[in-house]
Structure 1
């Protein structure tokens, strides 16, 4: 299976790649124009935020005396933006999107400023709520069909889903909500990176993008172990819409996807403390026991991922993106381990380039 994005590299390799992180640099292209290189504006700060379950966001700010650029049309909503970050000539495309918002500031004293912000190209799927039905199709085929309707034409990287569903209903959902729901029930990820729509599994837990150690490359980390939302079993009680036959699907602790087998899951922990803890999902239309079991497992996986959450910070690293796996060391036995990155924020300004990130994990 191909990686969703990025390459594997330890921190020493990254330091070599970026010449010990000398001279952080960004590039902002608006409608294909490098606005800084062409001396159009002097950008004072750039931020890119990416998340696992949502559209990625960007913002950048610059001085705008006389509201020259506010009224120029160059930064009008709908304009395409590409943002790159890195060091010296090693720049990585962080986001391709479009401008959604302009926020000028006219202070009592000082120079007016303009903040430009927007979202990646997945944002186009959030605009319209639809009611429609797809018949005798796989989830992956539906994803390809919806992707083909996009305003901004996208390449696709769609992993096949085996099950052909008699009926798949999009019920007053945006295309973004609908594709996210289809992805979640297969334990896939729906996202748009640059100009490609992905509908597939995330990279495996063994595919570590970056390895960092507290006190050296990892500047800060605040984890939390919390069993409040954990269950030992998920039961889906549904029915076949054609035959009205009752169908039951189950998933048990121990079957969580991507778990480290030598560690304990949240389901195992709560069962040891409280006995069996069940999550029941009722009245779901399903067409087979296999579909009900798959839905139960997808719900168990989502709940299990909330066992450990953590917030970390490090020097700016374009490789740390939502969805990748990082290995964090020097945090004691419980918390020195691999984590899935849930979100990341990349900020570049007068103080340099910094990356902050949030992680999650399903075992301890």
Structure 2
């Protein structure tokens, strides 16, 4: 009979750079780590508190540094979280064991503190105020919060290209693209820029220095799956959700071009046959129905008039979420750290419609009395339908380099 290696879930918690004492480790009953591509990553630690021995303990205080590593013994553990304690919740039940819940967030939560009023522009001779590229704006704001910006090269290049094109079409309109932060937190401001460019913003704990790298990732060009799971084998369960609510064929806007004194209709849509974006420009004469026909016009989302400087980003930010939220789902598997937010997962054994590549939007890794479990939320992005499953992925999940089926 074939023998399979036995895996024992293991973890390491450090507070202010030091491993927690054995007495505290012995009282830990549950660990939950959630990472996502929206908002700060979060860790919750449940601690038994007999005789209130951990209440008011100096280790368990807000603002203390906190790191978490997970994995399986005897393999090396992977440090999955670097942040700080942000909350302590206590429970004093009637007749039961008192408990503490330690809550930690990554450094992205620092961006939510306070609001600012400022603009990001260059003062050029004979031109005046000119907008800074969005990749530079995100870098400046990240640096002021002691975070290291990591801009995706493709996304940054596209953002800069749209700015150059806007200036070529209409310098006056391009000036309206100056980024203004008005009574906004840095988190809300950066989130708005990320949405406009089709980026996801999150702390990338796989990059050095861990916990301090703020990533702006353009997901359109990231297709390679990090893990493959098959239902009935490595995929414990999966619940897909398919909806047409809020779905549109494309997004349209009317744009006035001052340089040629002409209004045009711009339509950005997704071509399912070619698996590519389709950008069309028509003279802005009459109603939209007269430009593309009544049938197509009913399936287009019309956004408010924008200038050439902001039009491409406006259309993209409205279309992308609608394309990618048509098919979503949630699932679970045995504890697997290859399941991370932002990565691609290959799901098999779910039929033609629900199998294939998905983007992981959040992942939760839990160690408790039931062992090590990973649950996740995912979305089937529209371009995944035209991408064949890479050979060799199949239904094999991998944990620290070892295959489990």
When the two structures are superposed, what TM-score results if normalisation uses the length of structure 1? 0.82
Query: Distance between the aligned counterparts of 1:146 and 1:121, measured in 2?
Result: 14
Equivalent in the alignment of 2:132: 137
Q: What does residue range 12-23 of structure 1 map to in structure 2 within 5 Å?
A: 20=5, 22-23=7-8
Q: Alignment partner for residue 95 of structure 1, among 58, 75, 81?
A: 81
Q: Partners of 1:342 and 1:21 in 2: how far apart?
A: 30
1:21–1:316 CA distance, 2 compared to 1 (3 A) = farther
| Bigger CA radius of gyration | 2
1:229 to 234, 246, 263: 246
Aligned-partner SS, 2:86: strand
User: Secondary structure of the residue that 1:282 maps to in structure 2?
Assistant: coil
Give the Cα–Cα distance (whole angstroms) in 1 for the partners of residues 104 and 264 of structure 2. 44
Supply the distance in 2 between the matched residues of 1:203 and 1:336 (Cα, whole angstroms).
19
Deviation at 1:324, TM superposition (A): 0.6
Q: Is the 8 A contact 1:232 1:253 kept in 2?
A: yes
Q: Secondary structure at the match of 1:334?
A: helix
Could you say which residue in structure 1 is the equivalent of 2:181?
170
CA distance in structure 2 between the aligned counterparts of 1:176 and 1:203, rounded to whole angstroms? 23
- Give the CA deviation at 1:171: 2.6
Residue pair 2:143, 2:149 contacting (<8 A) in 1 also: no
SS of corresponding position for 1:148: helix
Counterpart-to-counterpart distance in 2, 1:247 and 1:176: 35
1:283/1:73 Cα in 2 relative to 1: closer, same or farther (>3 Å)? farther
1:32 is matched with: 17
1:310 match = 329
Query: Offset of 1:260 from its aligned partner?
Result: 8.5
* Equivalent residues, number: 327
For the Cα contact (< 8 Å) 1:41–1:63, is it kept in 2?
A: no
Q: In proportion to residue count, which structure has more helix?
A: 2
The 2-side partners of 1:85 and 1:360 are apart by 25
Deviations 1:39-59 (A, max 9, x none): 334211100112211111110
Residue equivalent to 1:190: 201
Secondary structure class of the residue paired with 1:190: strand
Instruction: Summarize deviations over 1:169-200 as a string: whole Å, max 9, x none.
Output: 12322111111111122212211122211123
Alignment CA distance shift 1:179-1:67 (3 Å)? same
Where does residue 16 of structure 1 map in the other structure?
Answer: none
Shift of 1:252: 1.3
Asked if 1 retains the 8 angstrom alpha-carbon contact of 2:330 and 2:378, the reply is yes
For residue 378 of structure 2, give the secondary structure of its aligned residue in structure 1: strand
Structure 1: runs of 5+ lacking an equivalent? 1-18, 263-270
- Judge which range, 337-346 or 110-119, deviates more: 110-119
1:336 aligns with 2:320: no
Q: Is the Cα–Cα contact under 8 Å of residues 203 and 215 in structure 2 kept in the other structure?
A: yes
- Are 2:304 and 1:282 equivalent residues in the alignment? yes
Q: Please give the TM-score of this superposition, normalised by the length of structure 2.
A: 0.74
**Alignment match, 2:151:** 158
